[in-house]
Structure 1
């Protein structure tokens, strides 16, 4: 993410229990962020978003990605070649009989998607992220 982007940690009122998460999130947001689900390919609200701005965690508001790093990967999900490294964490995901690297929000632990090593320069990364896990703040607003 660009150095001039301030690091914002998100809301301080992160729920303590899954019951509180269920109250805060829609059913679809809960399935993605808390139950580690995946939205259907090519269905996401931000897949074709082209405005300048910031992508935040839908669970807690932490700034995760800058629109400057978004690109069309053809994968069916919003893709970014870089992330706000202070706002994400990764872990190995061996579900579904494959080995992938899961991307989570560092502030609330929400599942965002996965990162792959087949992205463009300068990082070579493809952060493949569920639109449902994101909120977008347009610079135009």
Structure 2
């Protein structure tokens, strides 16, 4: 019994340390768009700040972008970097906007241990804003990836407005 407890404790400490190391690496990175906490708070809505700057998660099925199927580009709500194209969006049934691929070079990845196991977290490569997570349960006929993204982290630019 004691051996099991010690083993469990060691696993918890290891996971906690890994998560802390990842967080420290992420905080040490300097992004092309860097602002103070006060500047981010002034520019973003409360929900955008919670998601993008505090790595929060919006409630499922609350984003109007979840069921948006208009042609266009999804950009970072904090810095307007293009992140996802509408032709790569699909209805995953999860309640969050989902895409089978990102715009290459505009999204970065890290490992997140916040819920006790490793997940691949996505960030805007320009400002470091938290977007969501990527999973391997997306459409098999394309990439097999599901980029599960908080709608609060995105703004949608319709194709007709881009011309």
**What range describes the TM-score normalised by the shorter chain of this pair?**
0.7 to 0.9
Q: Secondary structure at the match of 2:115?
A: helix
Deviation of 1:97 (Å): 1.6
Give yes or no for the alignment of 1:119 onto 2:138: yes
| Residues 45, 132 of structure 1: 8 Å contact kept | no
Runs of at least 5 residues in structure 1 that lack an aligned partner in the other structure: 1-11
Distance 1:36 1:80 in 2: 19
Runs of at least 5 residues in structure 2 that lack an aligned partner in the other structure: 1-31
Aligned to 2:81: 62
Distance 1:104 1:62 in 2: 11
Aligned to 1:87: 106
1:1-141 correspondence to structure 2 within 5 Å: 14-120=33-139, 121-141=141-161
Return the structure number with greater helix share: 2
Bigger Rg, which one: 2
Structural RMSD (CA)? 1.1
TM-score between both structures, scaled by the size of structure 1:
0.88
Work out the number of aligned pairs and report it: 129
